[in-house]
Structures are given as C-alpha cells and as structure tokens.
C-alpha cells in the first residue's frame, strides 16, 4: 500500500510552482517514512502539465471555467465547461481515490476540490497571497487544515485550523552558485564588472515593467548588466525591439546593449537559480516568488500590479516592505528615472537590505505541508 496524494491547481506560476515544491518534498519524505508516496497532479493549464512531465508525475487534466473580472464573452462560454469539467474531475478523483488533496486555489482547483469533497476526501488548503482568492475562501470551512503565506490573510478566514508558514519554494531555484559561473551559464560576458540586476515579471511577464526597461535600455546598460524575464508571450516582440535598438545604435551603444542585456521568456529552475546567484538587485512583481527572493537574501524592488484581484499584490508588497523590500507604485511612480534611482540605492545598501530581507524568509513551508499531507493520509 502507498499514500495516494493529489495536488490540485493550475494557471500561473504562483499556483503551480508551490505544488512542484510540495511534490518534490513528498518524494524526499518517501525515503524517510519507508513507504511509497503516489502523487497525482490535477488541474488545468500548460504550466502544470509541463511541471508534471518534468517530475515524471501523472497529470490529470480537468477543464476549468474561469471568471474574468472584466467583460468578456469568454465568461459566458466558459459556463459550458462546468458540466464537462466536473465530470472529468469526478472520473479522475473517483478512479484514483486519493487519501488527501492539496487545494492550491485558483479557478483550476475548484472542480477537483469539489469532486474530492463529495468523495469524502480530506482537503488541505494553501493560500499564497495576503488577500485570498474566492476558491480558497470557499473551502475554508471544509478544509482539514488551512496554510497561509502572509499574516494579513488570517483575518479573511474563519477556520481555527490556520497556520502562517510562507510559500513552498522549489529547492533547485534557491540553490545559489558562484556568481561568475552563473553569469557564464546565462551567456553574459565577464569582461565588464557591473552590478547585475535581475528583472522578473513572473511566469506571465509584466508589460509595464517591460516597457520601462526598453525605454531606458541604453542608460540601464551603461550602469548595469540586466537579466530580464519578460514572459513567453512578450519574448518575440521584445527580442525584435532589442535587435532594432542594437541596429540603430550600432555606431554608439549597440555593442553595450548586446554585452549587458539578456532576455528570457519563461525561465527553467536552473536559469532562475543562476539569475538569483548572479543578481545584486532584483526587480519583481509582488507575487509568490518574493519568498524565493527572501530566502536568497537579495535586495528587492517590488512593483505590484495595480489591477491585481482585490489589490492583493499591493498588500503582499506592504507586508514584505516591513522586511526591507522597496515598493514602487506602478500607477504613479514607474518611470525609468525612478526605477534607476531605486536600483542604484538598493545596490549601494545591498548588504544591509539583504540581511533584513532574509529575515522574512520561511524556507520550511513545503516540508510543513508535505508532512501534514502524509499525516492526514495515514
């Protein structure tokens, strides 16, 4: 006999990467408990499907209706996904009959959680944001346990089975290596010794941040080496614009940009580790990756997405700011001049800020969740 554990979620990296971290921890725990752990991913989206394939863990796809917070005909079309998605969820859950399910939140986890609840499968919930989503709030009173990333989220839940543990972190991502080795791996020349800035918009990219970087790319490249994660959807257009800038500036700053700028769409775990290792300063959205940044102890400038649901990125950023993060308001202050000034200031105080930020880290979240899942599965 083995422990049968289902991990439900999908969509963006904020929902998928913590599931990956928990799955990896469960596989480690397997050796300690001397009993096989049989894991299944269930949900929707290419990111979770790819993650399951990379981990050699079976993935069960469920059509997931999504309610967008703006007018879209897709909202009405997605209603027709509900009966099909629910049938898929019932089929996969009842066929596998897990001992316990981890619900990560988001639209992709709702139908699997509903099927599990109707099958009397215990639910464990994890919420990544300071302002929880509707799915996790719905399962609050039905869950065996609710884990939170932020202290601020506590007030939204009624359960007395809450615990603030931070966000599960993929171990390979925070495994730092020598800075020079990391730069070489990322294809960056070591001839010039400049501060390295890692700019990340998350797995889906951040259009406003991308625009600021491109607008000021020449001035940024004069002072910094830039590693830029722009999102897969933006990679082609940004690469084309950079090539055009390099061509137009061929007689002046073209070579400078070519030497000091690297752009990526989606980054692998190894590339994320290399970027964190190389970076002196990090610029990021206020998403779940801030727990990775805290763990590696690098100065960070957060630019919360102003249209995020319930303004949760701003609330995330304000809680992290108590741990030393710098916050720039996108709608008011995201200009090339202000961003450059904040990067320069963060670099000058990098040791002090890094130590303070590291105190915000909660590196044991994946272990805590994995052990709870195994305990419930007994």
Residue with tokens 């990560």: 104
The SS3 assignment for 10 reads strand
| Residue range 279-302, pLDDT digits in tens | 999 999 998 889 999 999 999 999
| Residues written for the chain | 378
pLDDT in tens, 121-174: 999 999 999 999 999 999 999 999 999 999 999 999 988 899 999 999 999 999
Q: Phi then psi for 352, rounded to 5 degrees?
A: -65, -45
Rounded CA separation 120/147 (Å): 20
Residue 55's contacts (CB-CB under 8 Å, 6 or more residues apart) are 20, 23, 24
Between CA 105 and CA 135 the distance in angstroms is 6
CA 47 to chain centre: 11
Helix and strand numbers (H, E) in the chain are: 18, 13
Tell me how far apart the alpha carbons of residues 65 and 67 are, in angstroms, rounded to a whole number: 7
Please identify every stretch of the chain with a pLDDT value under 50, giving residue numbers as ranges: none
To which residue do tokens 């639209």 refer?
107
Rounded CA separation 167/316 (Å): 12
Q: Residue 199 has what DSSP assignment?
A: E
Who's near 117: CB < 8 A, 6+ residues apart?
123, 139, 142
Contact yes or no for 145/163 (Cβ under 8 A) = yes
Which residue, among 66, 71, 43, 205, has the nearest Cα to 134 in the 3D structure? Answer: 66
Q: How far is CA 116 from CA 26, 42, 113, 124, in A?
A: 20, 11, 5, 11
- Give the separation between CA 96 and CA 297, rounded to whole angstroms: 41
Q: Residue 72's pLDDT is what?
A: 64
Residue with tokens 């979770």: 48
Cα angle 332, 198, 269; round to 5: 125
Cα–Cα distance measured from residue 254 to residue 357, given in angstroms and rounded to the nearest whole number: 36
Can you give the pLDDT at residue 75?
60
What's the confidence (pLDDT) of residue 177? 96
| Predicted model pTM | 0.91
d(CA 4, CA 2): 6
Candidates 139, 45, 76, 69; CA nearest to 309 is 69
Contacts of 103 (CB under 8 A, 6+ apart): 8, 9, 109, 112, 113, 123, 124, 125, 126, 135, 136, 139, 143
């Amino acid at each position: 006999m083995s422990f049968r554990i289902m991990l439900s979620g999908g969509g963006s990296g904020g929902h998928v990467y913590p599931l990956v971290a928990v799955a990896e921890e469960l596989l480690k725990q397997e050796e300690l408990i001397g009993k096989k752990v049989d894991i299944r991913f269930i949900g929707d989206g290419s990111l979770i499907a790819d993650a399951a394939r990379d981990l050699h863990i079976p993935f069960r796809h469920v059509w997931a209706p999504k309610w967008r917070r703006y007018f879209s005909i897709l909202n009405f079309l997605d209603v027709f996904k509900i009966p099909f998605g629910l049938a898929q969820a019932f089929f996969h859950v009842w066929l596998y009959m897990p001992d316990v399910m981890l619900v990560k939140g988001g639209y992709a986890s709702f139908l699997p959680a509903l099927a599990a609840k109707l099958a009397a499968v215990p639910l464990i919930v994890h919420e990544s944001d300071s302002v929880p989503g509707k799915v996790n709030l719905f399962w609050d009173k039905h869950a065996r346990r609710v884990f939170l990333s932020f202290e601020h989220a506590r007030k939204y839940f009624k359960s007395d089975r809450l615990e603030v543990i931070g966000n599960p972190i993929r171990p390979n991502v925070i495994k730092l290596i020598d800075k020079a080795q990391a730069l070489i791996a990322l294809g960056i020349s070591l001839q010039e010794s400049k501060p390295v800035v890692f700019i990340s918009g998350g797995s889906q990219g951040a259009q406003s941040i991308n625009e600021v970087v491109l607008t000021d790319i020449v001035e940024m490249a004069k002072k910094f080496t830039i590693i830029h994660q722009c999102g897969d959807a933006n990679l082609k257009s940004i690469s084309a614009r950079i090539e055009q800038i390099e061509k137009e500036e061929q007689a002046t700053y073209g070579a400078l940009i070519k030497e000091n700028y690297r752009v990526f769409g989606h980054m692998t775990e190894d590339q994320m580790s290399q970027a964190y290792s190389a970076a002196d300063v990090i610029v990021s959205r206020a998403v779940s990756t801030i727990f990775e940044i805290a763990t590696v102890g690098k100065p960070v400038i957060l630019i919360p997405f102003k249209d995020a649901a319930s303004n949760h990125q701003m609330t995330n950023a304000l809680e992290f700011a108590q741990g030393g993060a710098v916050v720039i308001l996108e709608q008011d202050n995201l200009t090339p001049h202000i961003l450059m000034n904040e990067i320069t200031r963060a670099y000058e105080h990098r040791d002090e800020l890094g130590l303070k930020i590291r105190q915000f880290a909660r590196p044991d979240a994946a272990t805590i969740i994995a052990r709870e899942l195994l305990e419930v599965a007994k």
